[in-house]
């Protein structure tokens, strides 16, 4: 059975391999450098996994953060990242981890601002499903 840390591992690897953000700038929520965002980064959060009769399901959020320039959003870069991420995650990915088959795909995407961190970010919400039957 895949737990939240396993799902985190899969999603982090997918984001690191995607080329969207440098691999050493991909972080787990709560484990990011402190202070304002000065370089692009990706932050991965895996939420509660719900057990189902055939699939266990959970959402994984990937926030692609772009630092503001002089307090203003870098609209061009945000658009580029959002388009690339939607293309990348648009089709379901299927794989296996520790003997468990999984699939994930894009559930929704949106743009947000974080004034405290001085950045805007593209939120990519993935629906992650792991097969619960043999």
Partner 1 sequence: MRIDTELEAFFKKGEEEVKAAMEEAGRAAVEHNVEHGDYRDRTGNLRRSNTYEVSRDTLRVGNTAPYASDVEARGRMVASGGALLAQKMLEEKCR
Positions that interact with partner 1 (CB under 8 A): 29, 45, 47-48, 50-54, 57-59, 61, 63, 110, 112, 114, 121, 123, 125
Q: Report the distance separating Cα 64 and Cα 59, nearest Å.
A: 16
- Say if strands 100-114 and 26-28 run parallel, antiparallel, or are unpaired: unpaired
29 or 94: CB nearest partner 1: 29
Q: Report the distance separating Cα 113 and Cα 92, nearest Å.
A: 28
Q: Smallest distance, Å, CB 126 to partner 1?
A: 11
50 or 70: CB nearest partner 1: 50
- In terms of residues, how long is the chain? 134
What would the two tokens of residue 108 be? 């929704």
Q: Smallest distance, Å, CB 112 to partner 1?
A: 5
Contact between 49 and 56 (Cβ < 8 Å): yes
18 or 45: CB nearest partner 1: 45
Q: Report the distance separating Cα 23 and Cα 101, nearest Å.
A: 25
38 or 110: CB nearest partner 1: 110
Distances (CA, A) of 92 to 2, 15, 30: 18, 14, 27
Q: Smallest distance, Å, CB 60 to partner 1?
A: 10
Q: Smallest distance, Å, CB 89 to partner 1?
A: 15
């Amino acid at each position: 059975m895949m737990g939240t840390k396993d799902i985190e591992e899969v999603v982090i690897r997918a984001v690191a391999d995607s080329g969207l953000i440098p691999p050493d700038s991909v972080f787990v929520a709560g484990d990011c450098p402190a202070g304002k965002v000065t370089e692009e980064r990706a932050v991965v959060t895996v939420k509660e996994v719900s057990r189902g009769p055939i699939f266990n399901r959970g959402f994984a959020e990937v926030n692609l953060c772009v630092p503001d320039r002089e307090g203003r959003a870098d609209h061009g870069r945000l658009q580029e990242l959002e388009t690339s991420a939607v293309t990348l995650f648009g089709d379901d990915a299927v794989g296996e981890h520790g003997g468990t088959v999984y699939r994930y795909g894009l559930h929704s995407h949106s743009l947000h601002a974080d004034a405290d961190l001085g950045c805007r970010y593209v939120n990519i919400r993935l629906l992650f499903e792991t097969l619960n039957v043999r």
